[in-house]
Amino acid sequence: MKTIRTTLLALLAALSLGAAAQEAAIRKNLAERLPNLPKIDEVSKTPMPGLYEVRINHSDIFYTDEKGDFLIQGSLIDTKARADLTEQRVEKLTGVAFKDLPFKDSFTIVRGNGKRKMAVFEDPNCGYCKKFERDLIKVDNVTVHVFLYPILSADSGEKSRNIWCAKDKGKTFLDWMVRDVIPPAASCDTAAVARNFEYGKKIRITGTPAMIFADGTRVPGAIGADRVEKFLTEAKP
């Protein structure tokens, strides 16, 4: 019995060393052959024999062979399960629990009793965001956490600064988004806006508006008040 246990432990150790050597070889070959490739975060096996996942920039997924001779960008589809494994992996990597959002870098707009919660990433120069906000005012009993996310232009950054540095952020934001009142010039520490930009990239927010509801549901693009109501009602944190 002791001999069998010793043999199994030795086999497991050998497999572990083999996997580590495989990963090291892939990292080495890709780094040497593709010097412009960002730093590799992780190398792991996929369900497909001989195919390895290469993860960079937190959630960018590539695939390679066991020697790093080839690099593939695209979706890995499980035909039996009819599932996009790449999409599932990215969703897992970029998923965020509502409670874990960096609320200190946002400001809130409260309507009614504010019991229902949602967060939205918005660029102040985004036309779809303006349309969204003009519809959102119809939704009552909600707390909206607004994350300024200036991705469209330099002026987006200036408007975001003026809103963030305003004495009443929520009013200044809505005055601009709903009533077209240009935010007065203001200055302060805007590190929060910069952090929003980096955080949004990390969780793959590529456009605005982008909503996250209390149950973690993510919704890209401008939606009407009726759909916001639906998501708020269904959200169960």
b/e per residue, 102-136, with b = 16+ CB within 10 A? eeebbbebeeeeeebbbbbbbbbbbeebbebbebb
d(CA 89, CA 41): 14
d(CA 72, CA 57): 16
Q: Are residues 127 and 83 in the same domain?
A: no
Q: Are residues 49 and 157 in the same domain?
A: no
Domain boundary among 39, 61, 94: 94
Q: Report the range of poorest mean pLDDT among 98-102, 153-157, 218-222.
A: 218-222
Q: Are residues 170 and 83 in the same domain?
A: no
The confidence score (pLDDT) of residue 9 equals 55
Q: Are residues 113 and 226 in the same domain?
A: yes
Domain boundary among 94, 129, 151: 94
Q: Are residues 33 and 130 in the same domain?
A: no
Q: Are residues 119 and 226 in the same domain?
A: yes
3-state secondary structure at position 48: coil
Q: Are residues 156 and 200 in the same domain?
A: yes
CATH number, domain of 16, equals 3.10.450.70
Q: Are residues 193 and 104 in the same domain?
A: yes
CATH number, domain of 129, equals 3.40.30.10
For 101-160, what is each residue's pLDDT tens digit?
999 999 999 999 999 999 999 999 999 999 999 999 999 999 999 999 999 999 999 999
Domain total for the chain? Answer: 2
For 14-56, what is each residue's pLDDT tens digit?
445 456 888 999 999 999 999 999 999 999 999 999 999 999 9
Strand partners, 221: none
Instruction: Give me the domain span that covers residue 124.
Output: 98-234
